[in-house]
Structure 1
Amino acid sequence: MDGHHCDGTVMINHDKKNISVFDFFCGCGGTSRGFQKAGMDIAFALDVDKDAKNTFTKNFPSTDFCDKSIKKLTVLDFQHTLDKYKDSYKLFCGCAPCQPFTKQNTESPKQDERKDLLTYFGTIVKECEPDFVFVENVPGLQKVPNHKHGPFPAFEELLHKLNYQIAYGVVAAQDYGAPQLRRRFVLLASRHGEISIPEPTHGKDSDTPYKTVYDAIADLPAITAGESYAGNNVLNHRAAMLSEINLERIKASTHDGGGRNNWPRALWPECYTRTNEDGTTHSGHTDCYGRLWWKKPATGLTTRCISYSNGRFGHPVQDRAISVREAARLQGFDDTFEFTGNLNSMARQIGNAVPVDLAFAMGKQFIKHIEAIHG
């Protein structure tokens, strides 16, 4: 390693082969941004979502982008990129959409075609045999067996047949510097010897405390619900509108972690005033309509992370939900990263992204692995 840029990016000694990344479910670019910060070249990206494509290409203008479905992809579609980066190590990312494996998913496993995406990714890995493979998904991906149409057992078997050494498990993004509580399944695979999941860098088992909401967003300018910050120095600092009753609700919530337990009964939504069969009040989702805490990591961001009523996404002290930029910071995106699309689309892109800090830690682990190869 030569050292670090002032933005934290690790610089590679280019006398050695660098790692080029092929990001097959790139979304808006969380994995790619993390790997780029770790010092890798983002060579190729694929996604079928038009808004995600527009965001990705705006932030990675030199990356070859393909908007084909992976189900129709052939190696010919990115052969020119493979040729362009023929002298580097290849790392293939397969962070497929995770909704089919979430606890909240109510679709039949047989009906959700997204379950096959890891299998199609496996076909591309088999044809190209890249040096490294990275997969990120929800905890539970690895627990769905073959007979329930789980793709992971066959994918793991394929990697072993192709002589990859693999390491996988469930990690917490906050353990690697993300200011957000988010448990994820990760897999790292290498054709160049044994590889392992990196040790946590933050939290109770390290010398560095967890990053908090305060660390991430406290310095951003104050705005009101429905307002877009007008300055050019902060991109996408825009908050969703609040209805009159939701504005009353958040004003009735105490600063720094307050929620509907602070409200007078008249402000309760109807769904929280229903009684159960035993006469107790239906409690509902306790985080809905909640404010974030300053001195804790944020709760896990979802695709509705800028909606006050859809989780603990209220600003700790301002009477609004968090803005697009605040959500982006909680996912680890730097302020130069610009999102495109309407408000709901930007929130969906951010909620679906791999936390940048988590990807950065995994990227550094692959680079450390390469350095070990070179002695």
Structure 2
Amino acid sequence: MASKHPLRGRRRPAFERGDQHLVVVDLFAGCGGLTLGAAQAAQDHGLALSVPLAVDFEQAPVTVFKENFPKANVHVAPVESYFDGALGAKPTIAELTTREQVGDVDLLIGGPPCQGHSNLNNHTRRDDPKNRLYLRMARAAEILRPRVMVVENVPAVVHDSQQVVARTRTHLEKAGYKVAATGVELVQLGIPQTRRRHILLAVRSDALAAGLSVANLLEFAPQPTHDLRWAIGDLEHAGSERWIDAPSKMSPENQARIKWLIDEDEVNLPNDRRPECHRGDHSYVSMYGRLTWSQPAQTITSGFGSMGQGRYGHPSQPRTLTPHEAARIQGFPDYFHFDTTVTRTQLSVIIGNAVPPALSRVLTARLLETGVLGRETNARLDESA
């Protein structure tokens, strides 16, 4: 009997059910991609999920987070309102209150805003005040003292003009953490898209077993690679009344472009069929392009519904990707609900900005398998029994 496809299940696992918990705090949480991956890994290892705090500045992704993790303590607020002290300073009143309310934390995770670091952002690249929010993760670790902290971002974060990664690392090491960082190709983790991310991993010194280094923990065994057909092949002709399954409306010009690509079996649109502003010598060959069943997708962004924002033409249908397909390509199973009370534009931004759950799932599993997570969790619960 073939194993069940990991993205097609519609019944949500009971992540919160169990006697022993993995306690997770998610900052800059978005819709909960990092939390979902941690929950999946915890369940695989017999632990239940507990989220005493999750925070994001935007209401729309928090709405999605709450829908999918109804028992989590989720808030719409700036992360810096919970962790407002200077690095290395004594805890503020707000930070003491946060620490008292949250309690012991196993895993602190976060994906600070990364638009300022992105190579697509030519105006404020690497010099954006939002980039300094990365440092709030270090402050949160100082206050909460989690066993492990994971910070996810774009690879270009290492070139930030304020050196946020180096400064975060320095402060964490002063606070008693062992730190390592690496770039990760998500296709190697089983995600069907070409997407690179930067991971900073900090482990409290007393959580590391003898002979184990933090750098060792970032050495992942390659997962089976998956193409686009594996991710969304079953949705090729799927009809649904849910708007998450409806593609964006296309202009007559773009309808003609995608039809031409399909009829001619081409993946790149020639210059003479592009809008005049996108002709001539350029490196953006993916724009107005068509995806290929046998390859991973390009990086999913909030523009996945527009041919003019990337290679988002469907491989066989005269349309762009639907939100459902984009979520699948990000690695979100069908039991994860995006179509709550948000607008279509918000939905595109939420999915495009989401962190693929496989990233935290693979890393959390590694931390559990090596005993970095799990041992103290279980001992703490045994003492309170």
Output the TM-score relative to the length of structure 1: 0.82
Deviations 1:226-277 (A, max 9, x none): xx7227xxx821210001111011000037762313x8x3x3211134xxxx
Match of 1:131 among 131, 134, 147: 147
Alignment of 1:113 onto 2:129: yes
Match of 2:235 among 220, 233, 237: 220
Deviations 1:210-234 (A, max 9, x none): 11100000001526xxxx7227xxx
Q: Is the 8 A contact 1:22 1:91 kept in 2?
A: yes
For 1:285 and 1:184, how far apart are their aligned partners in 2? 21
Q: Name the structure 2 match of 1:321.
A: 320
The alignment of Structure 1 onto Structure 2 pairs a total of residues equal to: 340
Q: Name the structure 1 match of 2:62.
A: 53
For 2:14 and 2:199, how far apart are their aligned partners in 1? 22
Q: CA deviation at 1:167?
A: 2.2
For the residue of structure 2 that corresponds to 1:46, the secondary structure is: strand
Alignment of 1:272 onto 2:278: yes
Q: CA deviation at 1:313?
A: 0.7
For 2:177 and 2:296, how far apart are their aligned partners in 1? 35
Q: Is the 8 A contact 2:24 2:108 kept in 1?
A: yes
Q: Once the two structures are aligned, what percentage of the paired residues are identical?
A: 27
Amino acid at match of 1:308: M
Amino acid at match of 1:47: D
Q: CA deviation at 1:98?
A: 1.0
For 1:141 and 1:353, how far apart are their aligned partners in 2? 17
Q: CA deviation at 1:93?
A: 1.0
Q: Name the structure 1 match of 2:251.
A: 243
Change over 3 Å in CA distance of 1:198–1:81 after alignment to 2:
farther
Pairwise mapping of residues 336-375 of structure 1 onto structure 2 (< 5 A)?
336-339=335-338, 340=340, 341-370=342-371, 374=375
Q: RCO (CA 8 Å, sep 6+): is it higher in 1 or 2? A: 2
Q: CA deviation at 1:373?
A: 7.8
Q: Name the structure 1 match of 2:293.
A: 294
Deviations 1:57-92 (A, max 9, x none): 111111001211012223356446524xx4xx5211
For 1:104 and 1:52, how far apart are their aligned partners in 2? 22
Give the structure with the higher percent helix. Answer: 2
Which stretches of structure 1, 4 residues or longer, exceed 6 Å deviation after superposition?
A: 6-15
Pairwise mapping of residues 12-27 of structure 1 onto structure 2 (< 5 A)?
18-27=21-30
For 2:372 and 2:131, how far apart are their aligned partners in 1? 35
Instruction: Give ranges in structure 2 of 5+ residues lacking alignment.
Output: 43-47, 83-93, 377-385
For 2:125 and 2:283, how far apart are their aligned partners in 1? 26
Q: Name the structure 2 match of 1:32.
A: 35
Alignment of 1:201 onto 2:214: no
Q: Please, what is the CA RMSD of the aligned residues?
A: 2.8
Q: Name the structure 2 match of 1:41.
A: 49
For 2:266 and 2:291, how far apart are their aligned partners in 1? 5
Change over 3 Å in CA distance of 1:110–1:347 after alignment to 2:
closer
Q: Name the structure 2 match of 1:252.
A: 260
For 1:114 and 1:31, how far apart are their aligned partners in 2? 20
Q: Is the 8 A contact 1:32 1:42 kept in 2?
A: no
Q: Name the structure 1 match of 2:102.
A: 82
Pairwise mapping of residues 164-203 of structure 1 onto structure 2 (< 5 A)?
164-191=177-204, 192-193=207-208, 194-195=213-214, 196-202=217-223
Output the TM-score relative to the length of structure 2: 0.80
Q: CA deviation at 1:184?
A: 0.6
Deviations 1:80-130 (A, max 9, x none): 6524xx4xx521112101111112223446962211101222222111211
